[in-house]
Amino acid sequence: MTETETVSGAHVPVGLRRVIGRRVLVLFVVGDILGAGIYALVGEVAGEVGGALWLPFLVAFLLAALTATSYAELVGKYPRAAGAALYANKAFGVPFVTFLVAFAVMMSGITSAGAAARAFGGRYLAEFVTLPVLVGAFGFLALVTAVNLAGISESIKVNVALTCVEAFGLLVIMAIGASTLLGGDGDPGRALEFDPEGGALLGVLGGTALAFFALLGFEDSVNLAEEARDPVRDYPWALFGGLAIAGVIYLGVAFTATMVVDTSVLRSSTGPLLEVVEVAGIGFPPKAFALIALLAVGNSALINMIMASRVVYGMARERIVPSVFAIVHPTRATPWPAIAFTVAIAVALVSTGDIGGLADTTVLLLLCVFTLVNVCVLVLRRDGVEHRHFRAPTWMPVLGAAASLFLALPFTGREGAVYLRAAVLIGVGVLLWLLNRMFVGRVENVDVSRIGPGGP
């Protein structure tokens, strides 16, 4: 039986040190959200709606807030790591469903890293060296793999430092916006120009799906539930506060980008925010901003690839996928077969997809997960707990499930290649499950706490 302790009336596992307070938890949530998405996808969103690219970010923020209420309730109710897989396991108790949820989250991390790798090899890197995008992307993946194989222990202090770097770059963009407005320069009216190629509804839906990618990451913060001092009380405040801070920053950045740079330039650039810096009159060095962007993009990809390899390792350790993925390096203690597996998938994705397509695949996978999480919170209302915790108004998870499912459907304008890519990725997981069943047999119980991002 797992040893537990009582925190705010909840019985939580003993083991990890409870050192993270509310303020640092807020910074972690902000850091999880800020990163590759906003630095890489402003131009892609502009391509969907025209100059009013702030609108999809606003809609995406409101939809993300609905699902965030479900995460806040479930973390308060079950203050443990493992996230969506834990909630699916408690709600349905079907090992295969739990596996699919965990595998979908893992694959979303790889597709997100693939999008980041494409962004890394584009306009921002070109500020220092001119290379084909694929060469830069593959070189970046090689560097990420080397760090992952060497072994890495990400501390909260490192995360806070990188959050500050990422946020500083976005504050520079907002400062450019303020300076432009005060100086009477730029074209604020462009932020009201709405020029969707496929019609108003499809334009907003397509832009929202891409903008949603920039707001993903808040769901990763549930994995700190066992290291927070008081997750039952602090997590809802941190989640909503962090999401609100990131939302305000994103709206400011989106408005500035469209006001300062012509929409056609944003659409064609793989480093849209660098275009803003280069035409601004505040004299911020473009190379310095490019470095900030590369750090932001790189940090997002590194965290996602570390998470993905550890999830595969944890699944193998629980005998859910072939045990070969549970092998660790004798000296580095890193799960090298799991790392090789996830990197091979990332390389294939980078070779066949562009930034927008990979980002949209990430969003599709997580929209399916979010739909299930919103359903889980309603199903688990019948599972009472003794301690008090945040409870989402029932209409919010209901609307969150409906909105997530709606955005995942084909008629939102998403390309068929995105659905095919997502189906193939999930198919890989089903194949691994079936192979494991042939050689290991039926898995009756799954300890989801052992298939989270923790690992060697």
Mean pLDDT of 195-216: 79
DSSP string computed for 175-210 = HHHHHHHHTT-S-GGGGG----TT-HHHHHHHHHHH
Q: Which domains does the chain have, with CATH numbers?
A: 18-450 (1.20.1740.10)
Residue 1 forms beta bridges with which residues? none
pLDDT, averaged across the chain: 82
Give residues with Cβ within 8 angstroms of 274, minimum separation 6. 123, 124, 127, 286, 289, 290, 293
Residue with structure tokens 């998470």?
Answer: 307
What pLDDT is recorded for position 230? 75
Greater pLDDT, 169 or 353: 169
b/e code 13-42 from CB counts within 10 Å (16+ = b): eeeeeeebebebbbbbbbbbbbbbbbbbbb
Enclosing H/E stretch for 423: helix 416-439
Name the residue among 64, 69, 104 with its Cα closest to residue 211: 64
What pLDDT is recorded for position 371? 95
* Ordered alpha helix ranges (H), 216-331: 231-260, 263-268, 272-279, 286-317
What pLDDT is recorded for position 308? 82
What pLDDT is recorded for position 338? 87
Between CA 99 and CA 83 the distance in angstroms is 13
Greater pLDDT, 198 or 61: 61
Identify the band that residue 399 occupies on the pLDDT scale cut at 50, 70 and 90: very high
Q: What is the DSSP letter of 7?
A: E
Q: What is the pLDDT of residues 132-180, one digit of tens each?
A: 889 999 998 998 888 777 755 544 455 567 778 888 999 999 999 888 8
| Dihedral sign of CA atoms 307, 360, 99, 352 in order | negative
Q: Say if residue 324's pLDDT is above 70.
A: yes
What pLDDT is recorded for position 94? 84
242-251, 324-333, 349-358: least confidently modelled range: 324-333
CB-neighbour burial class of residue 431 (10 A; exposed 0-12, middle 13-18, buried 19+): exposed
Q: What is the pLDDT of residues 94-104, one digit of tens each?
A: 888 888 988 89
What pLDDT is recorded for position 14? 47
What pLDDT is recorded for position 155? 41
Greater pLDDT, 118 or 283: 118
Coil, strand or helix at 72: helix
Coil, strand or helix at 297: helix
What pLDDT is recorded for position 16? 47
What distance, in Å, lies between the first and last C-alpha atoms of the chain? 23
What percent of the chain has a predicted confidence (pLDDT) above 70?
85
Q: What is the pLDDT of residues 78-93, one digit of tens each?
A: 877 567 888 888 888 8
Identify the band that residue 327 occupies on the pLDDT scale cut at 50, 70 and 90: confident
Classify residue 442 as left (phi > 0), alpha (psi -120 to 50) or beta: beta
Contact (Cβ atoms closer than 8 angstroms) between residue 69 and residue 393: yes
Greater pLDDT, 410 or 8: 410
Between CA 245 and CA 181 the distance in angstroms is 22
Q: What is the pLDDT of residues 20-59, one digit of tens each?
A: 666 777 877 787 788 778 888 888 888 888 888 899 999 9
